[in-house]
Structure 1
């Protein structure tokens, strides 16, 4: 077991400075040397003294997360799992930044300063309810999830929402559906705008007309999906397939279809978005777009660390691919 950084440097055949750079996440060390150092860190069971590192480098080794979705949301729990992987690998602690502190609402920048965080991950905000001008002007490194802010030292990471919906429409068109509805998320939110654009592009490519009455706004919840589906079923010509902006909305839509005495997918096909754990176990199992939420969480921390370490680094714009997961909730349209 190594007791000091010198033990690791000696075993790896590199300088103490090189080991220090690897442990602090510097990007100037080549990949082969980095892998060798980390190999001996693991073999020698070396545990860096984070308190000493923060004192010497005047770093807190703490980042914050600011969100509105709630810690129990199924989407967030998988993002957090990915974040934890990168936090452990890079030696950071994570602090949750509440919107209120000691009963008083304070700005995000003030909160970050009071907690001495080196950067912040922001998640769950929509364009219409978010003003991050002060954060961007402050120069504090920030990475936004599902919010396309790229300015100063703030960048973002998101799923490829447009392409995902285009592929979903193509899949349903191949099943001979031509009356396709869209149950959205919060209207004009980043995710909703990009998924709706993908939905409309997919329809155009398949030669299917877009019908405004088939677009219903929601808020990503089961309740919103249920109510939206009721409105669609009340139309003179209901859709034969419904694409939902979230799995929870899709679950609500399936409930409404069943209550109306109809079946999924025999009467109406339903397709979700996210691939939460529950999607595989409901009946029928949900066909959905899988977001790689673990990768999004891990990369958010990695990107933030890179911004913290390199003040001249251009803000990142990262789009993560999705996957269509075919299960039992979609079937051929009735001819």
Structure 2
């Protein structure tokens, strides 16, 4: 199997009215300065000379009219307010666009795979953004997966049309929340011979900066303290879960100091909070850990793959289930904060999952 794949990544390009260009290396240099506090170390990490780094910062200062760093003799180098702003802007762009670009790259790679002579079947997986499902693409030497990031409604609709082989759905372990989820997606699930492939459980909750005082522990804290809140887009499974949690607490979105901005990924929500643009966000623990945020769990959920029952014995799905249960994949899952293997590869039903966690 030819495992060469195309990737797509965003790149910043600054150009002044005079035509001066600033190369993307600038962001790696700024990140190095933030992490090490020394221009010499940051330049070495970036793979450029000290002089090149110095000239790059000077040119950037001329373009923006403000310095990107603060240099004090004997006290090292720190980022200025502009430097911090630019670096966080780059983080947010990568977090916001990354999954969409990954989906575009997967679509193109799938087309190329089909054009290759004797190409193996490529499994088409439409899944909501998550850290564990992305791990499957790391094992392309064992299985070809065309991963497209879609919200649950889009993914299940594509599965029903035959536009994909698998769709993802996250299903709360709490029975009341689980039944709410079934009711929400009833029009896409009812009367269809579907089966669930177990994969992982994951933690969802509130993320905030470590210096948030006092820490936010309950959804009622958001309303009482009118903290600035950033949420996922309305069609995401995470937003559906969050709104159900609000309802169970007798709250509504109107009770919150909700940002008009909506983010498409967990990573983008975490970056938004870490940059100080919101006080609290809601998403998976792994995103909070990625940006050094405090996390307060509010729910645990199964992250499942849904397929048609008559497709289970097809070679591609058989290999996928074996891969999900392999030691290598299980070990990688264990490295992701807030994620745990959940009988990966095992086939089940919604009724069986509900029976595992009967009402207390």
Q: TM-score range by the shorter chain?
A: 0.3 to 0.5
TM-score when normalising by structure 1:
0.36
TM-score by length of 2: 0.34
